[in-house]
Amino acid sequence: MRTGGAFVLGAIMGAAVVWLWGRQVEAYVEEKTRRVRTKAAEGVRAVEETAGLVLDRGTDALRRADDFLHDTKEHVSEALRAGQEAIRPAPAARKA
């Protein structure tokens, strides 16, 4: 039970510290972390710009691939139609 009592006492003391000096601690942390947060925000912006460039390049590559596939589809269709015409038997002559 001694550990439980120490935990409760620690929780009460922590609450008292936050209640008494919470704003000062918050201001201190704000001041000390300002430079780190600024650098982190700049890093996020740099990642956003780089990701945009990479995705733009990917879009161009996909567009070229789509054009290539469309052209290939047309060529295959033409070749298949020509093959159909080549193997289709001529109409039979009618006897009258």
Q: Give pLDDT, residue 88.
A: 85
- pLDDT mean for each 10 residues of the chain (96 residues): 82 89 88 91 94 90 93 95 88 71
Q: Give pLDDT, residue 26.
A: 87
Give me the residue label for tokens 């990917």. Answer: 58
What is the C-alpha to C-alpha distance for residues 1 and 80, in angstroms, rounded to an integer? 86
Which residues, in sequence order, are CB contacts of 17 under 8 Å at separation 6+? Answer: 25
Q: Give pLDDT, residue 96.
A: 59
Q: Give pLDDT, residue 65.
A: 94
